[in-house]
Structure 1
Amino acid sequence: MIEFQNCVNEVEIKDINCTGVHFIWTKSLLNPNSTILKKIDRVMSNCEFITQFNNANVVFLPYGIFYHSSAILKIPQVMVKKKKSFRLVNYITNKNNGNLFNKIAILKDKLHEVQGKIDKDPTNKELRAEGVEILKSYKEAAEDEEKLLMQKSKVNG
């Protein structure tokens, strides 16, 4: 650890401001009895970048499908969102729920909320079990989204 700190000081980098979940790695996603939660990932930059993009921040997403959570670097000055036209894809009409767009966002929010609570109380087995159930639903919705995106790629390709 001391060698890492010396390296960071030598190359003059530091952490970019971050939000989101604190614990970004777990040993077992689907085992609510697993008590191993760690914060091991970082996003770092040099001082020039931090000065130029002082509003930049990193959002650590709930760890969802993988054992690590995703880190998204947001640079507000650079981001420009384009409006896209709406197209109905047949895959959506075959689903019972039909509300796939909102389902994934809602599940991400729930997962984020539960993982935030787990950050505060990592030994709470009820919260871990709730997180497992939400994660299972999220995985199913993510598979549905993947199928949708595959169909869209055929239309656009």
Structure 2
Amino acid sequence: MTKIRIKRNSEWNNKARSIGIYIDGKKVGTINDGEAQEYEIDNGNHEIFAKIDWCRSPKMVLNINENEIITLILSGFKFGKFILPVILGIMLMYYLIKYALNFDFPFLIWFIAIGFIYPMYYITFGKNRYLILKEENKNVL
């Protein structure tokens, strides 16, 4: 049986949202945070991508042989899972230093601004690279 297995990483961003899986232009299902799904398909070439709202992953063409199972890893944009915790940590540090120690570090505001601007690229101009869909590494012993 020929299958495509998709494993979605658990991340802060998009945690509460399910991502649609498209094979050959047709939606075949959705995948939730930290979940794995399998889809049976025919042999041959297939175009696959993932989509969430108006953002998606780049389209990927897979050549699948008889009785082959291909595993793909689905995640958000690069460094996406670190942005929210880091920005919240910097904001907490800024306010503790400013109000507890009465010392001002205005340059910390720039780190917070960059943390908000970086994801904005992926939901506007980089919307077709918001998600990352890549083949799992095959370790052959």
- TM-score calculated relative to the size of structure 2: 0.33
- Higher strand proportion (structure 1 or 2): 2
- TM-score calculated relative to the size of structure 1: 0.30
